[in-house]
Amino acid sequence: MEAHLIEILGMLLRWLHVVAGIAWVGSSFYFIWLDASLEPPEPGSDAARKGVSGELWAVHGGGFYNPQKYAVAPAWLPQRLHWFKWEAYTTWLSGTALLVIVYWLRAQAMMVDPSVAELTSAQAVGVGIASMVFSWFAYDLLCRSPLGGRGGILGAVVFGLLTLLAWELSRTLGGRAAYLHVGASIGTIMAANVFFVIIPGQKRMVAAVKAGLAPDLADGARAKQRSIHNNYFTLPVVFIMISNHYAATYGHPQAWAVLALIGAAGVLIRHFFNLRHKGAFAWPCLAASAALLGAVAVWTAPRVQPLPPVTGPVTLDRVRAIVGERCVTCHSQAPTFPGITQPPAGLVLQGAGAIVQNAQRIYQQVVVTRIMPLGNSTKITDEERAVIAAWVSAGAPSK
């Protein structure tokens, strides 16, 4: 019953995280598009006299809309003013809670890979927490430094910092955990931008208008800078959210570099759209992104590492004995491996029929990517991997 409750809680948190993330990313995409699409009002028009610097006419859902942006601030504020913050907070809180349940509470199974580094559960969790905290402080200091006024250079330095983080985590944690903690670090930066910079600045601007004073333009500039940064972070962090389904990326020997290439492609795709919104020529960004993703596809193509020769007959019974010893501790109806309460990906490998049916999945995860058993926690040998490879190459016979 306890395992089922944990599974349900994880499902609900994941659902909430995805829904909140959609709302947050959607608002980011919309406001960046809106800001790039505004046009100056006609001179002498009511909008111009009110101090509107740009406006847009749009039709959606059977209605007409006329968003306007003020050069500084309106002369007065209505009683109801809509804020965009809870999308960010809910995404980060639900994502962190999910990280705790899925990874931190099961650190020995989900984060520690003895072939990478011998860590205790507490040490692995400490590395994860430190990566999130350090990333925010390093990023925030860079933004407040003289580099903060040089957007392109700042972006390159932040990208280099995150690549360095991915490299360090790949030397410390298992592949999946390393990727997820890079994503958690980016998500922390994004949410902290909203909590510590964007919303406080906007509150000061609102307070100034209500007091009949001119808002500090620096608050608006800082908020816009951090909002633009968050916009460019979105596609890389969304990829990381789904990366656990693609072992060819996090299971690669240079997984950190694979992630850097995919992250760069995501940034370029976002830049393509941002330029297009402004009516600028943007196709080279899309071409460069396609080239990076093509390079990733080639670089991560399956390459079976040399295996020792197999002696003796290769039968299903022989493969079943290996799977039973090395895989079934997790992939069973009632897992016995510490920290695992449900079979990963719902894959149960008990019984000859289940092994034959999932022969290609076993081959891919155990022989090609070698990410299973996770962290080689059950000590599968190269000789045993060779037996599985030979069996699958023979057509996975059921005898």
Contact 385, 307 (CB under 8 A): yes
- Tell me the average pLDDT across 240-255: 92
pLDDT value at 2 more than 80? no
| CA gap 304, 364 in Å, rounded | 9
Count Cβ atoms below 10 Å from residue 227 Cβ, excluding itself: 20
What is the secondary structure of 242-268 as a DSSP string? HGGG-HHHHTSTTHHHHHHHHHHHHHH
What digits encode the pLDDT tens for the residues 290-337? 999 999 999 998 887 888 898 888 888 898 989 889 998 889 888 888
| CA gap 236, 159 in Å, rounded | 11
pTM, two decimal places: 0.88
pLDDT of res. 168: 98
pLDDT of res. 10: 84
pLDDT of res. 1: 54
What digits encode the pLDDT tens for the residues 93-140? 999 999 999 899 989 888 999 889 999 999 999 999 999 999 999 999
pLDDT value at 222 more than 90? yes
Q: Give, in order, the Cα–Cα distances in Å from 220 to each of 87, 146, 199, 318, 334.
A: 20, 18, 10, 67, 55
- Return the residue matching tokens 């994860």: 128
Highest mean pLDDT among 1-5, 166-170, 249-253, 349-353: 166-170
pLDDT of res. 352: 84
pLDDT of res. 3: 67
pLDDT value at 224 more than 70? yes
| CA gap 353, 358 in Å, rounded | 9
- Tell me the average pLDDT across 248-269: 96
What digits encode the pLDDT tens for the residues 52-92? 999 999 999 999 999 999 988 888 888 899 999 999 999 99
What digits encode the pLDDT tens for the residues 18-56? 999 999 999 999 999 999 999 999 998 988 989 999 999
What digits encode the pLDDT tens for the residues 361-378? 988 888 888 888 877 888
Average pLDDT, the chain: 92
Contact 304, 367 (CB under 8 A): yes
Contact 226, 198 (CB under 8 A): yes
| 3-state DSSP percent of the chain in helix, strand and coil, to 5 | 65, 5, 30
pLDDT of res. 22: 96
User: 349: which residues sit within 8 A by CB, 6+ positions away?
Assistant: 323, 327, 328, 331, 332, 355, 358, 362
pLDDT of res. 141: 98
Dihedral sign for Cα 172, 173, 178, 180, please: negative
